[in-house]
Chain A
Amino acid sequence: MSFTPEQIKSGVLPYNYSKFKMKIDELQGVSACYRDRNGAIYHTYSSYARGIDLMNTTYNFLDLTAKGRDENPDSTQDWVRYHDEYKRRSNERSANDD
């Protein structure tokens, strides 16, 4: 979801059914809609923040490991890169076969 210039300027942003002091232009979320036979559209559901953890299946895999998410609590996901930006470490072989 996105915030207006006025909201960003105020420094208090509506998110996850609450308000937060933060400086950011965009944040992640999920919305669901339904379209009936006559073409009428209904909004049914929206979720934000940790409400979409379960769609991040990488986390669902990590939650089954011995070390868990193993993240810096003050900066979660600081280890995540775009998939083509991970540097291959010299002592490790590729994650992929190809």
Chain B
Amino acid sequence: MTNHKTGTREEWLKARLDLLKAEKELTRRSDELARRRQELPWVRIDKEYPFETKEGKASLADLFRGRSQLLVYHFMFGPDYTAGCPHCSAIADGFNGDAVHLANHDVMLWAVSRAPLAKLQAYKKRMGWSFPWASSLGSEFNYDFNVSFTEEQQRSGNVYYNYSKIGAPAGPHVELAASVGTDWPAYIRETPGMSAFALEDGVVYHTYSAYARGLDGLWGMYQWLDRAPRGRNETGFWIRRHDEYDRGASKDCCA
């Protein structure tokens, strides 16, 4: 027997209908938030941001590839990393399938990281992904959008993330840093985020950025967990890259 409260179908349905009301309120509020995001003023980008892509050097405007909107996932993969952040990798496992749909709805979705392009491409091949991925190494892009920090910023505690000064982030998470082949300070010089841009009459505008739990909705796996009987059920570092889970335990799941 389970120790959790159980009930008849009628009891469950009554409780479920109460929850449904709350879920519908959340859906309406989420629609309203999306509408308010569209009302944000746009900030014209005049600064040059050079990127390296599979097709060679590219500007921010080039990343739109004929669309009028661009979404950038700031993927944690610093120059010293030997592999991408496992959490960003789990997010990317999900959005790898979304990119083609977005690209056919006037939105280009790119991952951008500071690691050199060759590292990004090798890792992308290992993970079997197809979304476009650009290197911003040598550009101020990551710093301007508050997803990378210098050693000097770390020393002085002058680190701004998710629109507030965070000083030193919680940690160290040695296991997480080891998973990308760095120590904690090098690991945390990169942080996750997303930014949205619009292109109109040849001018690029920044429209939106989100960080930290502002990215929860992009992580499809969590949306599923939130509906599972035990929810996210997290007690530590459990996420691995999809090719690093114990084979014995996962052989019957996802052939």
Interface residue ranges, A against B (CB under 8 Å): 16-17, 30, 32-34, 36, 38, 40, 42-47, 50-51, 53-55, 57-58, 60-70, 79-81, 83, 86, 89, 91-98
Contacts and interface: CB of A to CB of B under 8 A. Distances in A.
Interface residues of B, number: 65
Contacts of B218: 57, 60-61
Contacts of B54: 97
A80 B97 CA distance: 13
B104 to A, nearest CB: 5
Contacts of B102: 58, 61-62, 95
13 contacts: A51-B20, A51-B27, A57-B223, A62-B102, A64-B208, A65-B37, A65-B208, A68-B34, A86-B103, A95-B100, A95-B109, A96-B100, A96-B130
B65 interface: yes
A54 B223 CA distance: 6
Interface of A is mostly: loop
Nearest to B38: A68
Interface of B: 1-2, 4, 6, 12-13, 16-17, 20, 23-24, 27, 30, 33-35, 37-38, 42, 53-54, 65-69, 71, 94-95, 97-109, 124, 130-133, 194, 196, 198, 205, 207-208, 210, 217-220, 223-224, 226-230
Nearest to B198: A66
